[in-house]
Amino acid sequence: MPAHSLTTLTAGKTSIDTSAIEALAAQLSGSILDTSDAGYDDARAIWNGMIDRRPGLIIRCMAASDVVSAVRFARDHGLLVSVRGGGHGIAGNAVCDGGLMIDLSQMRSVRVDAAAQHAWVEPGATLADVDRETQAAGLIVPTGINSTTGIAGLTLGGGFGWITRKFGLTLDSLVSVEIVTADGELRRASASEDPDLFWALRGGGGNFGVVTAFEFRLHRFGPEVLSGLVVHPLDEAELVLKNYRAALEAAPDELTCWAVMRKAPPLPFLPARWHGEEVLILAMCYCGDIADGERATARLRSIGKPIADVVGPAPFTAWQQAFDPLLTQGARNYWKSHDFTDLSDAAIEILIRAARHLPSPECEIFIAHVGGAAGRVAAASTAFPQRSSHFVMNVHARWREQSMDQACVGWARELFETTRPLSAGTAYINFMPADEMDRVQEAYGASYHRLAMLKQRYDPSNLFRMNQNVTPMTNTRAA
């Protein structure tokens, strides 16, 4: 293996001798890939097809000891570092140009203690990995809405989905973590061990180290839920959304319903004449007794005259995978997001207008409703910024051809700016693209000051900067 020129934290270059890389390789149970190795291109390819970066080295970790070795190597050589988990990562921060990529995607173990109702999950696991093992024991971790999402990024940024209103955010079920911090030490953080670090990890993203294991408290759940889609013409969107908003005011915690505006995919239950036409979809899930769910969803399902209603009992694991075909790897993706404290008439008007000008068949606007149990956690108890019952808008631009970049990105940015005056100011960091670094402080709201102080304590050199970056406090003051 020849000497390597790698990118540093200061955007310069450093040359690392072959002997140093060979010594590192000898410490690992995993492997090292450089640009000439078979498998390098597969290892650097991530879900968002817009990201095409070439790390100088990739360390494919198989154990926590590999992560310790990788972080110490990066620290000692002052290298630019990125960390890859197991899932999406819209911003593309999993991959750096020229530096060291720490790849956790092979670490996918999920171990469940059914009696204690706890699970230990490695950082490369996806939601499908977690659901498969927990549901085998009749248990669950509240997570997101796609089985291909990675548990690590989801948890560190918050984690909300179909059962958040019943059980809270993903991070609310987090009991402890094992983490390698910037000094190369493997630590345990929990409510009683290093509680400041534990606070920061629950919402602070990848700013504070590389998590090698998550311990979750599990909840009795499943296996069936009442779930499915109610599809309306976009021409009925104003009526549907205003009634949707009203229905949610009395919704029990067990019921979650999100609204999606997009061109209808060729779903088998939709008449062919609607394929490719603009529609509004109410996607709902009731995580309780099925008969109770029929009553709880009746008001939402009685709105207007839908094209199709395919709500019914289904295994939760199947519902978690229902949208996976719309989020396969390789497409070009760009997201913009706001939190709204309420879904105002003005917001509804703007959203419908934008949905009439979708630049590609895969672009969509979705509105998630977050509250219930997640909203009853004290705002200061974790770093997650928005605990009030609220709506999350995700403007999801998705397309295939590079020639469509300007049209699709421009559409998302225009809708984002038009709705900015109506927003709460905070944002879900897992939905923020790479060009929103100037928005991180606003997105974290009241949590940011404490996060910046803890960043100074645990990562004063900002080794972990390939994320929605919180700047160490001393640098914040200098700025």
pLDDT in tens, 243-294: 999 999 999 999 999 999 999 999 999 999 999 999 999 999 999 999 999 9
User: Is-contact 140 316, C-beta < 8 A?
Assistant: yes
What pLDDT score was predicted for residue 478? 37
Cβ neighbours for 300, distance < 8 A, ≥ 6 positions apart: 230, 244, 247, 257, 282, 284
Q: What is the distance between the alpha carbons of residues 29 and 206, in angstroms, rounded to a whole number?
A: 24
Quick one: which of 276, 405, 386, 285 has its CA closest to 340?
A: 386
pLDDT tens for 134-148 read 999 999 999 999 999
Q: Rounded mean pLDDT of 418-423?
A: 97
Please report which confidence band the pLDDT of residue 88 belongs to, taking 50, 70 and 90 as the band edges.
confident
Domain ranges in the chain are 4-103, 110-220, 224-437
Is 60 exceeded by the pLDDT of residue 479? no
What pLDDT score was predicted for residue 336? 97
Tell me the percentage of the chain whose pLDDT exceeds 90. Answer: 96
Please report which confidence band the pLDDT of residue 32 belongs to, taking 50, 70 and 90 as the band edges.
very high
Q: What is the mean pLDDT of the chain?
A: 96
What is the architecture of the domain spanning 4-103? 2-Layer Sandwich (3.30)
Please report which confidence band the pLDDT of residue 3 belongs to, taking 50, 70 and 90 as the band edges.
confident
pLDDT tens for 158-200 read 999 999 999 999 999 999 999 999 999 999 999 999 999 999 9
Please report which confidence band the pLDDT of residue 469 belongs to, taking 50, 70 and 90 as the band edges.
very high
Quick one: which of 277, 241, 240 has its CA closest to 262?
A: 277
Is 50 exceeded by the pLDDT of residue 1? no
pLDDT tens for 318-341 read 999 999 998 899 999 999 999 999
Tell me the percentage of the chain whose pLDDT exceeds 70. Answer: 99
Is 90 exceeded by the pLDDT of residue 477? no
Phi/psi of residue 35, each to 5°? -65, -20
Question: What does each C-alpha distance from 55 to 1, 27, 51, 65 come to in angstroms?
Answer: 16, 21, 12, 21
Is 50 exceeded by the pLDDT of residue 476? no
What is the architecture of the domain spanning 110-220? 2-Layer Sandwich (3.30)
Q: Is the pTM of this model over 0.75?
A: yes
270-279: long-range contacts at Cβ-Cβ below 8 A with a sequence spacing of 24 or more? 270/231, 270/307, 270/308, 271/307, 274/231, 274/307, 276/361, 277/233, 277/234, 278/233, 278/234, 278/355, 278/356, 278/358, 279/231, 279/232, 279/233, 279/234, 279/307
Tell the CATH topology of 224-437.
Answer: Vanillyl-alcohol Oxidase; Chain A, domain 3 (3.40.462)
Is 90 exceeded by the pLDDT of residue 87? no
pLDDT tens for 376-389 read 999 999 999 899 98
What pLDDT score was predicted for residue 4? 86
Q: What is the distance between the alpha carbons of residues 253 and 244, in angstroms, rounded to a whole number?
A: 16
What pLDDT score was predicted for residue 2? 62
Please report which confidence band the pLDDT of residue 475 belongs to, taking 50, 70 and 90 as the band edges.
low
